[in-house]
Copies of this chain bind each other. A is one copy, B any other.
Amino acid sequence: MPKVIKTKTEFEGRVLEEYVVVEGEGLSAWDAHVPLQFVGKKTTRVDGPERVTGKALYTFDVQLPGMLYGKILRSPHPHARIKSINTQRAEQLPGVRAVLSHQNTPKISFRRQTFLFDEVVRYVGDEVACVIADDEEIAQDALELIEVEYEILPFVLDPEEALQPWAPRLYPDGNLLGGQPELYQRGDIERGFAQADVIVERTFRTQCALHNCMEPHGSVALWEGDSLTVWDSTQHIFGVREGLARLLGLPLHRVRVIKKYMGGGFGSKNNLGKYTVIAALGAKMTGRPVKIVLDRHEENLATGNRPASVQHVKIGARRDGTLTALELKAIVTAGAYCLWPPSLGGPARELYACSNVKTEQYTVFTNTGPLSAFRAPGYVEGTFAVESLMDELAQELQMDPIELRLKNYTEIDQTTGRPYSTKGLREAYERGAKLFGWHEARTPPAALLSRRHAPKLRGVGMASQIWSGNGMPPAYALVKLNPDGTATVITGTQDIGTGTKTVLAQIAAEELGFPIEKIAIEIGDTQLGLYAPLSAGSMTVASVGPAVRVAAHEARQQLLDVAAQVLEVPRDSLTIADGLFRSPALQKPVAVHEVLKNLENFMIIGRGAREPNPEDVAVNTFGAQFAEVTVDVETGEVKVERIVAVHDSGRVINPLTLSSQIEGGIIQGLGYALYEQRVVDRNTGIVLNDNLENYKLPTALDIPEIVFEMIDRPDFRANNLGAKGVGEPPIIPTAAAIANAVANALGVRIYELPITREKILKALGKV
């Protein structure tokens, strides 16, 4: 029986009542000494062959009879009011079926204070209208026939400028999200700094980064009567369902969202996109299915980005390294719309034992593309600032950076006072340092100056990582057993490219005692699947995996019940492994299908719910990364020679998919540290590199040697797997570790990402 718990929480001075439903069986995680057959073993992707042979059907591949194609007209101005739209010429182009704009669509609220088709456009790329036509080419041609009369408005691109009272306003109530900064305080920050022997204080700047998932955003919408089906490249099918239902005034059972395969998502696919709602409206209007898939330019302009930030960080410490105060003030560029407000202060609040902490964040609207979640939102930026400054503090105190960190190590979550369920960060420092040869490699700062004129400078640096990653309820799964001893797992999660299906198959195989090839995983369908949360926040495995395990467990119990009766042996004597029943009472093992095949189509169906999270401990993930760089003093080129990473995300389910996550995260962190940066023309607000030619991503030649190890220790308080997420942790400390290594190489620090050749040469005094 589901139990409802009413809790009261305080939020911004208001007392909020919240209901929590507690359900799910109390399975405990497999003991560390229990030998496991699938969990913890390198397992190739269950859907690898169809992915690499082009058979997998992505949203782009959906074809429907009579399907039309949509192309979106986007604003050429960073800020303007639409005075009129004349769609007549476009509508007359043969093959054009409809032109949608604010003139002929319902006024649908979208995001903060705005509408699906707004009469004000707020960045170059903002949605103005959409042509629905027989093919994409006609739609594209028709865009040029739409005549829009704009009233040009003053615009602002820089967040610091946008905070000025004289700045052009994007919204009537100003450019600051929420009207006030987001503030966090504990202890007494003034007293903390007063107690300090040493204070370091710097301003860090990070750039705007673009997601560039391999598969662009896109949707196909189909109406059947009053039921809407949408194929969508999304990280949250149930969220898209909820959003579509709300915006279009539909009940949830009439909205079906499907996402079978997906070519990556780093947070920009967390949200319902305008193109999805437009496709649904266009399909309704034309009476035919509509496909809208964004191209790379649109992808880079309109789907969200990692926001640029300015962070002013100040740390006070005693001579022995004990932190007395930590303050971080951040200004974050929301762009025109804030899709997913990040919290840059997280690492400052959580990484170290410190009684006096203050973080303050201004999230500021500007006439640029919208902010969205991007792999570890806020923590990548915040870690760069805090861990850079900790490095500087260590230098100031003439301490080893690891020593300084261990000095301020804590086993207690500083924000809640709860002990961590497990924390392997100390071990990560120690194992990482050993693997890297930290103590040997670390050149004393004094030695640096003499090398300043060497053609290449070498440096090493390290940084720490903290992140959540335990997932949460609600998440549900079913496990169906077929008469031939195969099983189908059904849940409503989505595999965004990380290998979710493979990991869930391992879990089900382990719990059932079936060979893994006998498991099929069905996900990505709101109508036929069960609720699962968004695939973000490193929480898919830790949210959905436990539900799958419970469902498999329930199916296994039923299977044992039935087998004991059919085989006429005591139930307690039976075990299942390799798809075989074994019992001392049996002469030889009996295959599962031998029992089930006689039972006609009797179908065992196990149901599982994610259990509640513990309330007495904090569950987090931790890690440390070490970087070695060489810097060419002539060209300013930084080459990352190697990265060593040691992470603690609890139990490792699949070392193979995990290695993709770790390596992918590090590589993305490296791109962020050295290359990636959206460039906006200051005079026009136009993005100059909304493409893969000019937006520089790391290529194979830029990839360093990557060595990583996992602590791989089950967290028994986290969930019934003992596993936590690993999607975000590896990107978090990379830029900081590289920046620290560059500082170590140069002897001077660069406070602004990306660390380009120009900045290096400037720091070296060469330009």
Contact = CB atoms under 8 A, between A and B. Distances in A.
Interface of A: 1-4, 18-21, 23, 47-50, 53, 55-57, 61, 63-65, 67, 222-227, 238, 245, 251-254, 287, 474, 476, 478, 480, 482-484, 486-488, 490, 517-520, 522, 525, 527-531, 533, 558, 561-562, 565-566, 598-605, 607
B65 A565 contact: no
Contacts of A482: 251-253
Given A253-B486, A476-B603, A530-B603, 17 more contacts: A1-B561, A2-B602, A4-B562, A21-B562, A47-B224, A55-B223, A55-B224, A55-B225, A55-B287, A63-B65, A227-B520, A251-B482, A474-B602, A474-B603, A480-B530, A490-B528, A530-B605
B225 A47 contact: yes
Number of copies: 2
A531 B223 contact: no
Given A251-B484, A530-B603, A565 B57 contact: no
Contact of A558 (B1, B222, B599): B1
Contacts of A23: 602
Contacts of A525: 528
Contacts of A252: 482-484, 486
A49 B226 CA distance: 8
A64 B55 CA distance: 11
27 contacts: A1-B558, A1-B561, A2-B602, A19-B566, A21-B562, A23-B602, A49-B225, A50-B224, A53-B225, A55-B224, A55-B225, A57-B65, A57-B222, A63-B63, A245-B484, A251-B482, A252-B484, A253-B487, A254-B520, A476-B603, A480-B530, A490-B528, A522-B528, A528-B529, A531-B601, A533-B601, A605-B607
B224 A4 contact: no
A393 to B, nearest CB: 42
Given A50-B224, A55-B223, A602-B474, A565 B4 contact: yes
Contacts of A601: 238, 474, 531, 533
Contacts of A602: 2, 21, 23, 474
Contacts of A49: 225-226
A600 B474 contact: yes
Contacts of A2: 558, 561-562, 602, 604
Contacts of A528: 490, 522, 525, 528-529
A57 B224 contact: yes
Contacts of A64: 57, 61, 63
A47 B19 CA distance: 36
Nearest to A45: B225
A474 B558 CA distance: 16
A238 B488 CA distance: 14
